[in-house]
A = this chain, B = another copy of it.
């Protein structure tokens, strides 16, 4: 085995993150991984199979980061710096401001069943992570006990999605920082009456 699978998946992650599923052609993949088509197919079965592993790897990674935020002594400050790190980074890593999962959602129809499932499940996993952050923040008395956990978790994920799209296009880092500040203000303030009868 020329390269360890871990190493290969990391290279593939960068490529899919940058280009997306469709635009990353098998030739691009071959170049990025320095592997010939036969090797790729023997190890990963198909382009979609490789993509699936990439998504799972990405989710695992994000999950670890979000759990670290939840475990921090001050979840809210940790959340703030998590947002900042994810959204304000050097120019050559600008593509990382976009969320791989959200980017994939826009091309869900062309990905195929298994890859699709990996993406959808990944979104659910991350939503759970946001929920534990909110819970822990309440425990630490950084958020009022009245904060609706599931609603706030969904909302936080939303904010993250919106901010990523914003940060992708925005060249003024200060503007991004201001937006992050606004998120943490709104997190602590009033919530609407939840219109959902039974949250699932």
Mark A residues whose CB is within 8 Å of B. Answer: 19-20, 22-23, 98, 102-103, 105-107, 109-110, 120, 123, 151, 154-155, 157-163, 165-166, 168-169, 172, 174-175, 177-179, 181-182, 185-186, 189-197, 199-200
Do A178 and B151 have beta carbons less than 8 Å apart? yes
List residues of chain B with CB within 8 A of the CB of A161: 161-162, 165-166
B192 A178 Cβ-Cβ under 8 A: yes
CB distance from A119 to the nearest CB of B (A): 10
Given A109-B19, A200-B172, A182 contacting B178 (CB threshold 8 A): no
Give Cα A195–Cα B154 distance, bound, in whole angstroms: 27
10 A-B pairs, CB-CB below 8 angstroms?
A105-B165, A105-B169, A106-B106, A155-B179, A159-B162, A162-B163, A172-B200, A181-B193, A182-B186, A186-B189
